[in-house]
Amino acid sequence: MSLQETAERAERPLSAAGASAPPPGRFELAPVRGVLAREWALYRRSWKPTTFAAVVEPIIFLLAFGFGLGSLVGVVAGYSYLDFIGTGIVATSVLFTSIYPGLIDTYVRRVFQHSYDGMLAAPVDVRELVTAEAGWIALRASVYGCAPLLVAIGFGLPPAPGMFAVPLIALVTGFGFGLMGIWMSALVPSIKTIDYIISGLITPIFLVAGTFFPLDELPGWAQGIAQVNPLYHCVELVRGAAFGIDAGAAALHWAALFAFVVVVWGLAVFQMRRRLID
């Protein structure tokens, strides 16, 4: 080892365990795994109520709308309404199980519990912290999002090989909405102002996505808004996995989701760094 390397290593801050911190500006996977391990340990203590809420609520939506409105509507866009809404509620479940934890849980941990202050004192930087938090949210969303799909299959939705892609669709979408929630949690000045985001942003995302009704009959401006709604692209991919989709259309929907992830990752990292470090 050269004298220069020895001097550089001596200048690096040490963690509580005595290991040298990663070089500044370098993204490390080890801290991400460490944060994920912490999330898993916390989840094991509270998985029952969390899972109950995440699984039962979309199932109730499915049963209420599928059999309630389904008895009146019949066929929508060429599908039975139960099949149509069953695939749509998969995307809705992914939205709710990702954006709310990203928005509310991260706010509580940052402002009230100061969990992130302790984590950043270890060799973890903001990029790794944000990626790990959103990654854990996405992993849960990819599991919870499959529950209404399984229920819909139980009530008559024909199984299809493409449905094996649904967990991946939910994972990418959940990662994006988890990042979006983290970003907005760092934007709001107080926890009370989160209501503005829930009513003014999440509700329109939820409704204008082709989840409960097709978008063809909406005004042109509303259809244009839907094209930039990430949940719309998730809905289309889930329905495509169940009923078939053109490869070109699927590629465009995937491209929109990945672009969404890249943008909100940058925004979340930037805003969280402002809140935690700058």
In the chain the first and final C-alpha atoms are separated, in Å, by 35
Tokens standing for residue 147: 């529950």
- Using DSSP's 3-state secondary structure scheme, residue 159 falls into coil
Q: Is 115 exposed, middle or buried (0-12, 13-18, 19+ CB in 10 A)?
A: middle
Q: What are the tens digits of pLDDT across the range 180-214?
A: 999 999 999 999 999 999 999 999 898 888 888 88
What pLDDT is attached to residue 5?
A: 41
Give the angle 116-134-57 at the CA atoms, nearest 5°. 115
What pLDDT is attached to residue 185?
A: 95
Q: Tell me which residue has tokens 């465009």.
A: 252
Question: Does the pLDDT of residue 179 top 70, yes or no?
Answer: yes
Q: What are the tens digits of pLDDT across the range 40-63?
A: 988 888 888 878 877 787 778 777
Cα separation of 24 and 12, whole Å? 9
| Cβ 264 vs Cβ 179: under 8 Å | yes
Nearest to 84 by CA among 204, 174, 209, 210: 210
Q: What are the tens digits of pLDDT across the range 124-134?
A: 899 999 999 99
Amino acid letter for position 51: T
Mean predicted confidence (pLDDT) in 228-244:
93
Cα separation of 84 and 70, whole Å? 10
- Using DSSP's 3-state secondary structure scheme, residue 217 falls into coil
E strand or H helix that includes residue 76: strand 75-76
Q: What are the tens digits of pLDDT across the range 58-89?
A: 778 777 776 776 666 777 777 888 888 888 88
- Using DSSP's 3-state secondary structure scheme, residue 75 falls into strand
Q: Which residues contact 85 (CB under 8 A, 6 or more apart)?
A: 62, 65, 66, 69, 70, 211, 212
| DSSP state, residue 188 | -
Q: What are the tens digits of pLDDT across the range 136-170?
A: 999 999 998 888 888 888 878 889 999 999 999 99
Question: Does the pLDDT of residue 267 top 90, yes or no?
Answer: yes
Domain boundaries defined on the chain:
26-276
